[in-house]
């Protein structure tokens, strides 16, 4: 799986060919060897493989993928990837030799399964950034749910400036919180090994069997002296929802992802609890924080939109397939009873999180505050390979549709431009949907006049000397610029920030790569 999207998504695969004009038929029983071959490059054989699973996969992907991939291109990807994965000894192997390996011929029959997985992976690499192969283990996880993590209950971010991992949050039932570890604390070592710049390596060291010890070196936030502590790993769970009341008048709800459908009820319960905590005194407004939310279940996004938007005829999102489209309808009712709502987004807000924020923006139910979102507006669907071979338990995931917002605009490649653009917020990701190779083109790319932020907000220079409230700061201790802009907007004042109208309007959204 790819690092950004899985750490934000999903997988899938495909393979098959059709005969056409100018097809080159290659029949060969030539044994495959690792001998160097200096023959000139051959054209890709546009024909079916002898291994029928590949043929049927390729046909299904070509028929169902919204990316409209070319069979020849997928075959080229399959052959090239198998050649690459076999190593330098096969760099000059002919296409016919590699194809014979995919067909299960020659001297590599015992390795045929790995070769097929490599061929599928290579074929899908020629389709779109979100099409990939899914292992049997990942298929099982998607059906029964992922196993519970066994660790100490922390979420952290890498910070090269500090030289460690900064704690962003702790699980309520985890050993870390019980030991007094707090947001903003810095992990410098795990088992006496430096973790500076080692985001994933640190996770591998921290996770482990329940009851086993792990030793951390930590610098508490605001201090300089390093402390060492040993914690026992346990089963930990992170709620996808966190909420609290800020300064007695602003309800704050953070949704980490759209993977857990129970989040719908949790958010409703949180809203009721925050209202009741003030004995019926109305809060000035609510903040829904979708920053760094990679998305998940579209059904949850649609239900939440329906929860906040009071409409008899509206829709929250349209899913447009190659053959048909359908709408997620909105019904009457607003759990906030019209109370002002601000939604926070950033460049790591993606997919279902963009659908929700876009629906609320289009229906003028919320003010979107932050920076331009990620821009993933595509739908991935699984194809289980048991369809072609009853003995297989793996799958592929391919892009089958695009999302359209209530306004009719497609999300793909553009995402959501906030109503209030926050100045001075650093990008969380190095690459966004619009930067990816083989990105599916936005159908409106040639005519879209993308939304422009109507205002720009910045934090006042004297914020640090006036405010000590930790709720208004990031886990690093720095001012939470986006949240501060949203709070001032809901309160209709400029206590923390200065907001100016954009005149003239800023440039349109950065277009995707051609």
Catalytic residues: 351, 362, 376
Inter-residue contact 450 to 421 (CB < 8 Å): no
Relative to beta strand 213-219, strand 227-232 is antiparallel
Q: Which two tokens stand for residue 356?
A: 């929700």
How far is Cα 251 from Cα 455, in angstroms, rounded to an integer? 23
Q: For residue 442, what is the DSSP state?
A: P
Residue that has been written with the tokens 């029964």 in this structure = 144
Q: Other C-beta atoms within 10 Å of 53: how many?
A: 18
Question: Torsion over CA of 96, 102, 106 and 112, rounded to 10 degrees?
Answer: 160
Inter-residue contact 226 to 188 (CB < 8 Å): yes
Q: Tell me how far the alpha carbon of residue 462 is from its chain's centroid.
A: 36
Q: Which residues pair with 403 in a beta bridge?
A: 319
335 φψ region: left (φ > 0), alpha (ψ -120 to 50), beta (else): alpha
Instruction: Render 202-237 in DSSP notation, one character per residue.
Output: HHHHH---TT-EEEEEEE-TT--S-EEEEEE-EE--
Inter-residue contact 357 to 96 (CB < 8 Å): no
Q: Other C-beta atoms within 10 Å of 342: how many?
A: 28
Q: HEC profile for 19-44?
A: CCCCCCCCCCCCCCCCCCCCCCCCCC
Q: Which residues pair with 496 in a beta bridge?
A: none
Residue that has been written with the tokens 């963009």 in this structure = 354
Relative to beta strand 234-235, strand 132-134 is unpaired
Relative to beta strand 193-194, strand 186-190 is antiparallel
Q: Which two tokens stand for residue 40?
A: 């000139």
């Amino acid at each position: 799986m790819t690092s950004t999207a899985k750490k934000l998504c999903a997988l899938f695969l495909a393979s098959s060919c059709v005969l056409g004009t100018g097809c080159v038929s290659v029949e060969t029983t030539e044994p495959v060897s690792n001998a160097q071959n200096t023959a000139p490059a051959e054209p890709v054989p546009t024909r079916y493989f002898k291994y029928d699973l590949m043929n049927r996969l390729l046909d299904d992907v070509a028929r169902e993928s919204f990316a409209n991939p070319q069979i020849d291109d997928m075959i080229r990807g399959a052959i090239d990837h198998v050649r690459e994965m076999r190593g330098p000894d096969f760099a000059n192997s002919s296409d016919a030799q590699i194809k014979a390996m995919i067909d299960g011929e020659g001297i590599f029959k015992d390795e045929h399964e790995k070769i097929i997985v490599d061929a599928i992976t290579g074929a899908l690499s020629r389709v779109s950034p979100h099409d990939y192969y899914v292992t049997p283990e990942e298929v099982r996880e998607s059906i029964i749910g992922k196993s519970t993590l066994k660790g100490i209950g922390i979420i952290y971010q890498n910070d090269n400036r500090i030289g460690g991992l900064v704690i962003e949050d702790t699980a309520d039932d985890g050993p870390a919180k019980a030991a007094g570890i707090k947001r903003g604390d810095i992990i410098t070592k795990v088992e006496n090994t430096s973790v500076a710049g080692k985001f994933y390596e640190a996770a591998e060291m921290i996770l482990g069997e329940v009851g086993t010890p792990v030793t951390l070196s930590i610098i508490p936030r605001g201090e300089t002296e390093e402390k060492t502590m040993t914690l026992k790993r346990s089963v930990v769970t992170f709620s996808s929802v966190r909420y609290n009341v800020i300064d007695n008048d602003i309800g704050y709800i953070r949704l980490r992802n759209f993977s857990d459908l129970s989040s719908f009820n949790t958010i409703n319960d949180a809203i009721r609890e925050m209202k009741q905590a003030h004995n019926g005194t109305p809060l000035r407004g609510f903040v829904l924080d979708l920053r760094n939310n990679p998305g998940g279940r579209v059904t949850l996004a649609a239900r939440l939109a329906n929860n906040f938007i009071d409409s008899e005829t509206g829709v929250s999102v349209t899913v447009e397939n190659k053959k048909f489209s359908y709408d997620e309808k909105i019904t009457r009712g607003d759990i906030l009873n019209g109370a002002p709502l601000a939604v926070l987004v950033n460049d790591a807000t993606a997919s279902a999180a963009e659908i929700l924020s876009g629906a609320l923006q289009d229906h003028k139910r919320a003010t979107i505050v932050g920076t331009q979102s990620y821009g993933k507006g595509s739908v991935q669907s699984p194809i289980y390979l048991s369809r072609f071979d009853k003995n297989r338990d793996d799958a592929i995931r391919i892009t089958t549709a695009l999302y359209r917002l209530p306004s009719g605009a497609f999300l793909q490649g553009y995402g959501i431009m906030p109503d209030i653009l926050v100045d001075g917020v650093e990008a969380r990701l190095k690459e966004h949907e619009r930067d990816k190779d083989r990105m599916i083109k936005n159908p409106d790319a040639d005519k879209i006049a993308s939304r422009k932020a109507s205002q720009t907000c910045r934090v006042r220079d004297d914020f640090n000397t006036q405010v000590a409230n930790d709720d208004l700061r990031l886990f690093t201790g720095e001012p939470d610029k986006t949240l501060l802009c949203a709070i001032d907007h809901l309160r209709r004042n400029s206590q923390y920030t200065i907001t100016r109208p954009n005149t003239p309007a800023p440039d349109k959204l950065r277009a995707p790569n051609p």
